[in-house]
């Protein structure tokens, strides 16, 4: 056990993007022939670290070594040469090419003679590569287009193994797998694990990132837990239990003032929105949700759990394939968000900068975007009414701007978000879906946004909150629903004086 050789190590890696620190100094050691599991909440820094290791982006500070030598790849090719390869979360195969062509993409010169590629030779080699990862049953002449996702995943892995080994057969490799199981079925996951074990038996190592704790526990030899860009634990699998890992993953419970808990009211009994057995084929199903007047309902779950898709269905962006939606007791069926808005349902999108605002327009015009019709006479928009409305909201939400005519782009992130809020409130929406309302805004602005949400529900409106962190969701909500793999796995009351623990939620999420 102790004679295991260190293959890769990272020390005190930090990374900051535009002022926010994604990694605040993390460590990672990988020994030859082991699978290292890497877990953490969304935004804990797992993906960022992988991207640094593979050379897609450089770290801000910290050192890495590979094979005992300093390692600082400037691009993925250099990482490949050192024996590190990565299967990205998004598929990186060219679907209109064959398996073999994908395996040797960028290395065609090895097979060409006088400008002609010797396909037979390439496919023979491809077969060898596939055999190596025990996927000899995949026909290298088949187009990737015609393969299912599991097989594609195996081709990706074969490709990565191949490029990392090219040239020196006895070199030990490190394969990074980022959420490799998210599109696989149970059986396919088992096959994948079998292949991973074969790889490690040959002395190669794997870093395995997944939201699914049970899978991590099954395949890993050692587990690292990251939280908020920092190490939160590192234990051999024998010592790791689900409880321990949950406890390590979740953050500190924040102060009550931060979420204005003293202002958290009681929801009324009136149900303003209800879904019955709602489903979207292949994404989520059997979802029954009740939202009361004056309530903040938090929905938590990992990426791909279906929580965002439910909101998209409720606000009319997607059509459900099963189940019903009732708004104030009336059955509804929307084919567009504008129909939903007529019933008072509005979603504030996550990608504020892309979906939510018009950067070139002024603050006043942005606020008026969703209700310009109401402000117009005979089809002509009244400038005066737009300005009056803007002044009202700038004052009410304390939006920091040089004036109502300032271009939205000149405002800070938090204040842009407030403008988006103002627009939602001006539209007269009664049910507001907030999709990560505090993403990318600083701490001070966050607190103001929390206060804003409290004020909104105090006026009798209802909110569905997809929080940026678990802590935020629990802190803000009256009730929290937990989702996993498209199903509701739990529901918790979250009164101001009786908040559920993060651990209890996480255990249902992963």
Binding of other proteins at residue 319 (CB under 8 A)? no
Selected range binding other proteins among 69-77, 169-177, 292-300, 351-359, rule: CB under 8 A:
69-77
Sign of CA dihedral 412, 415, 421, 422: negative
The residue from 61, 92, 241, 410 that contacts other proteins (CB under 8 A) is 92
Phi, psi of 263 (to 5 degrees): -95, -5
Strand partners, 188: none
Work out whether 96 is an interface residue with other proteins (CB under 8 A): yes
Q: Hey, which residues between 412 and 431 contact other proteins (CB under 8 A)?
A: none
Q: Closest distance between other proteins and the C-beta of residue 450, in Å?
A: 31
Q: State in angstroms the smallest separation of the CB of 94 from other proteins.
A: 5
How does strand 61-66 pair with strand 69-70? antiparallel
Answer for which of 138, 163, 434, 465 binds other proteins (CB under 8 A) is 163
Q: How many residues bind other proteins (CB under 8 A)?
A: 41
323 is an interface residue for other proteins by CB under 8 A:
no
With CB under 8 A as the contact rule, the residue among 97, 237, 332, 369 that binds other proteins is 97
Stretch that binds other proteins, among 133-141, 387-395, 425-433, 480-488 (CB under 8 A): 480-488
Strands 35-39 and 20-31, sheet pairing = unpaired
Rule CB under 8 A: say whether 75 interacts with other proteins. yes
Query: Between 20 and 92, whose beta carbon lies closer to other proteins?
Result: 92
Residue 227 tokens, joined: 């939280």
Question: Considering the complex, what minimum distance in angstroms separates the CB of residue 236 from other proteins?
Answer: 27
Is residue 3 within the footprint of other proteins (CB under 8 A)? Answer: no
Token reading at 138 = 């995949």
Backbone angles phi, psi at 84, to 5 degrees: -115, 130
Work out whether strand 174-178 and strand 84-87 pair parallel, antiparallel, or are unpaired.
parallel
Residue 115, Cβ density class (10 Å: 0-12 exposed, 13-18 middle, ≥19 buried): exposed
Binding pattern for the stretch 215-254 against other proteins, x by CB under 8 A and - elsewhere: ----------------------------------------
Q: Which stretch binds other proteins (CB under 8 A): 199-207, 221-229, 417-425, 482-490?
A: 482-490
What are the tokens at 2?
A: 């102790």
Of 182 and 507, the one with the shorter C-beta distance to other proteins is: 182
For other proteins, which is the closer residue by CB, 254 or 489?
Answer: 489
> How many CB atoms are closer than 10 A to CB 17?
12
- Beta-sheet strand order (sheet of 174-178): 84-87, 174-178, 205-209, 35-39, 222-227, 230-236
Residue 113 makes contact with other proteins by CB under 8 A: no
| Minimum distance, C-beta of residue 176 to other proteins, in the bound complex (Å) | 13
Stretch that binds other proteins, among 41-49, 110-118, 409-417, 448-456 (CB under 8 A): 110-118
Report how far apart, in Å, the C-alpha atoms of 348 and of each of 354, 401, 420, 437 are.
12, 21, 7, 8
105 makes contact with other proteins (CB under 8 A): yes
The DSSP symbol for 109 reads G
Using CA atoms of 418, 423, 428, 430 in order, give the dihedral in degrees to the nearest 10. -50
Query: Per CB under 8 A, which of residues 166..185 are in contact with other proteins?
Result: 182-183, 185
Q: What is the three-state SS of 242-297?
A: HHHHHHHHCCCCCCCCCCCHHHCCCCCCCEEEEEEEEEECCCEEEEEEEEECCCEE
Contact residue for other proteins among 180, 475, 486, 500 (CB under 8 A): 486
Shortest spacing between CB 489 and other proteins, in angstroms: 7
State the minimum distance, in angstroms, from the CB of residue 509 to other proteins.
13
Q: Does 148 bind other proteins (CB under 8 A)?
A: yes
Between 78 and 391, whose beta carbon lies closer to other proteins? 78
Contact with other proteins (CB under 8 A): which of 72, 117, 372, 503?
A: 117
What is the number of other CB atoms lying within 10 angstroms of the CB of residue 458? 12
**Contact status, residue 272 vs residue 431, Cβ threshold 8 Å:** yes
CB 281 within 8 A of CB 321: yes
Q: Pick from 145, 358, 388, 458 the residue near other proteins by CB under 8 A.
A: 145
Q: How far is CA 392 from CA 364, 418, 422, in A?
A: 10, 13, 10
Provide the binding-site residues for other proteins, judged by CB under 8 A.
75-77, 90, 92, 94-97, 101, 105-109, 112, 115-117, 119, 145-146, 148-149, 163, 182-183, 185-186, 281-286, 304, 484-487, 489
């Amino acid at each position: 056990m102790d004679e295991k050789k260190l293959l890769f190590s990272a020390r005190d890696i930090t990374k900051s993007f535009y002022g926010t620190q994604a990694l605040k100094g993390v460590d990672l050691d990988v020994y030859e022939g082991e699978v290292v599991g890497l877990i953490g909440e969304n935004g804990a820094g797992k993906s960022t670290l992988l991207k640094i290791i593979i050379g897609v982006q450089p770290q801000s500070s910290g050192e890495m070594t590979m094979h005992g030598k300093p390692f600082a790849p400037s691009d993925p090719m250099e990482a490949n040469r050192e024996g590190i390869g990565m299967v990205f979360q998004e598929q990186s195969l060219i679907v209109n090419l064959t398996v073999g062509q994908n395996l040797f993409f960028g290395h065609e010169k090895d097979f060409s003679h006088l400008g002609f590629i010797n396909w037979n030779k390439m496919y023979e080699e491809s077969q060898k590569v596939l055999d190596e990862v025990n996927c000899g049953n995949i026909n290298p002449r088949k187009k990737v287009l015609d393969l299912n996702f599991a097989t594609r995943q195996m081709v990706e892995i074969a490709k990565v193994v191949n490029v990392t080994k090219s040239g020196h057969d006895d070199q030990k490799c490190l394969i990074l797998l980022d959420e490799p199981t998210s599109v696989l079925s149970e059986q396919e996951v088992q096959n994948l694990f079998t292949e991973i074990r074969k790889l490690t038996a040959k002395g190669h190592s794997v870093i395995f990132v997944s939201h699914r704790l049970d899978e991590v526990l099954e395949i890993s030899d050692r587990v690292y837990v990251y939280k908020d860009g920092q190490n939160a634990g590192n234990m051999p699998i024998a010592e790791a239990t689900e409880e321990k890992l949950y406890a390590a993953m979740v953050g500190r419970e924040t102060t009550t003032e931060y979420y204005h808990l003293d202002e958290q009211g009681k929801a009324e009994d009136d149900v303003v929105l209800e879904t019955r057995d709602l489903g979207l084929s292949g994404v989520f199903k059997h979802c029954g949700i009740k939202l009361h007047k004056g309530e903040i309902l938090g929905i938590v779950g990992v990426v791909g759990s279906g929580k965002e898709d439910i909101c998209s269905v409720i606000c009319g962006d997607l059509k459900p394939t099963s189940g019903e939606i009732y708004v104030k007791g009336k059955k509804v069926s929307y084919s567009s968000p504008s129909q939903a808005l007529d019933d008072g349902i509005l979603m504030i999108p996550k990608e504020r900068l892309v979906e939510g605002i018009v950067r070139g327009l002024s603050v006043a015009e942005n606020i008026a975007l969703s209700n310009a019709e109401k402000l117009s006479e005979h089809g002509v928009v009244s400038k005066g009414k737009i300005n009056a409305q803007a002044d009202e909201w700038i004052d009410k939400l304390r939006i920091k701007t040089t004036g109502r005519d300032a271009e939205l782009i000149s405002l800070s992130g938090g204040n842009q978000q407030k403008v988006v809020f103002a627009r939602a409130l001006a539209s007269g929406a009664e049910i507001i879906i907030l999709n990560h309302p505090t993403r990318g805004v600083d701490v001070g602005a966050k607190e103001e946004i929390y206060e804003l949400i409290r004020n909104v529900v105090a006026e009798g409106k209802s909110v569905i909150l997809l929080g940026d962190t678990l802590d935020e969701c629990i802190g803000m909500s009256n009730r929290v629903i937990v989702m996993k793999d498209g199903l509701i796995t739990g529901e918790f009351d979250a009164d101001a004086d009786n908040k559920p623990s993060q651990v209890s939620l996480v255990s249902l999420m992963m």
